[in-house]
Amino acid sequence: MTAGQFLSHCSADALRQAAQQLKAGALVAFPTETVYGLGADATNPDSVARIYAVKNRPADHPLIVHVSDLSDLAEWADDIPEFAIALAREYWPGPMTLILKRSSLAQNFITGGQNSVGIRIPNHPIALALLEEFKKIGGKGVAAPSANRFGHVSPTTSDAVAEELTEFLATGDLILDGGASQVGVESTIIDCTGEAPRILRPGAITEAMIVSTTKSVVTQEGEKIRVSGSLENHYAPAAQVLLNIEPHSGDGFIALSSIATPAGVTRLAAPKSNEEFAQVLYEALRSADHKNLARVVVHEPTGEDIAVAIRDRLKRASQGR
Ligand code: TXA
Ligand code: MG
């Protein structure tokens, strides 16, 4: 097996092999509906340490544990509040991560030393099949951050994973191909350790959806929790990202299709809806780098749907340089 071997035909056999590799301590990058994840056995400290090394991620940034079934939740979390169970029933499998009080299974090397743990059931057939195969051979859960180097744009295709990580992967590690991610931006992270759900990172599960399920107010205050995506200059391509200005000739340009392409600029994406905007955004930012563009101008979508997540990521992509 070569380093970071690519599996593009995810047959049942291939997925069994990938689950065995995870159990043996290897890293397996896999597709989810949000972005691709870089997976490791969430109970294996050495494998999890390799995630941090491959990503060049600071060790105190916690990881999300991915499981395949609601019944797995009780293994990883204690004292789960009713509103979290309501959210889980409504939106899992799906683009939502719940932060819950950790059980003893969730050790410091997963939680970054915090008393809470992030859990998600992804909605992607390959991810779910991999998680189920892993469970059949005794696996408890798969820790998986987005499969990019720390601070970079998250990958939404297996080619983007290979571009980010191949040189850092080892013999036995795998990259599973499952096509382009449908959602395109990372999951909504909801802190469920307080009285009411609190959004730590916006995503496809919107504030309105959370309120409609839990009937409780989504408060925004509270102590600061470490969320790596909340650092400045995250989700960033090499090109400089500029928001809502008139592009110069030679700039890359991303905007809804209703906005015409200014003369002399390279149109990188023209999505027809906010959902499509999210789906194509990260590939469009990557393509700016492939074309060696110095700057990419993005006209942000408006609205309170997934546009909130798009604006959140773009703000960070454009900051701190
Ligand atoms: O859509 C997603 O969530 C993707 C796919 C692969 O599932 N994963 C992802 O993981 O975006 P990552 O590690 O790139 O971002 C997860 C964020 C990090 O910013 C981390 O700090 C935060 O979740 N997080 C994880 N556990 C946490 C916890 N216990 N408390 C607060 N934040 C936590
Ligand atoms: Mg990430």
pLDDT digits (tens, 9 = 90+) for 263-307: 999 999 999 999 999 999 999 999 999 999 999 999 999 999 999
Ligand nearest to the CA of 151: 2
As for ligand 1, residues whose beta carbon falls within 6 Å of it are 32, 34-35, 37, 61-64, 97, 99, 111, 114, 116-118, 120, 122, 144-146, 186-187, 189, 200, 225-229
Return the CA Rg of the chain.
19
Ligand 2 centroid to Cα of residue 162, in Å, is 16
- Per the rule left: phi > 0, alpha: psi between -120 and 50, beta: everything else, 122 is beta
One-letter amino acid of 138: G
CA distance 146 to 87: 22
Would you state the pLDDT for residue 10?
77
Query: Encoding tokens for residue 68?
Result: 């395949």
The pLDDT value recorded for residue 59 is 85
Query: Nearest C-alpha to atom 22 of ligand 1 is from which residue?
Result: 227
Separation of CA 98 and ligand 1 centre (Å): 10
Q: What pLDDT score was predicted for residue 223?
A: 43
Query: CA of 253: how far to CAs of 20, 157, 261, 264, in Å?
Result: 43, 21, 8, 10
- Under-70 pLDDT residues of the chain: 1-9, 219-233, 320-321
Long-range contacts of 10-17 (CB under 8 A, 24+ apart): 10/126, 10/129, 10/176, 10/177, 10/178, 12/129, 14/176, 15/126, 15/129, 15/130, 15/133, 15/176, 16/133, 17/174
Ligand 1 centroid distance, CA of 83 (Å): 20
pLDDT given at position 1 = 40
Model pLDDT, residue 231 = 52
Q: What is the pLDDT of residue 234?
A: 79
Protein residue whose Cα sits closest to atom 12 of ligand 1: 145
For the chain, list the domains and their CATH numbers: 5-214 (3.90.870.10), 240-317 (3.40.50.11030)
- pLDDT at position 3 is 60
| pLDDT at residue 269, as a whole number | 98
CA atoms within 13 A on the CB side of 15: 19
- What is the reported pLDDT for 226? 46
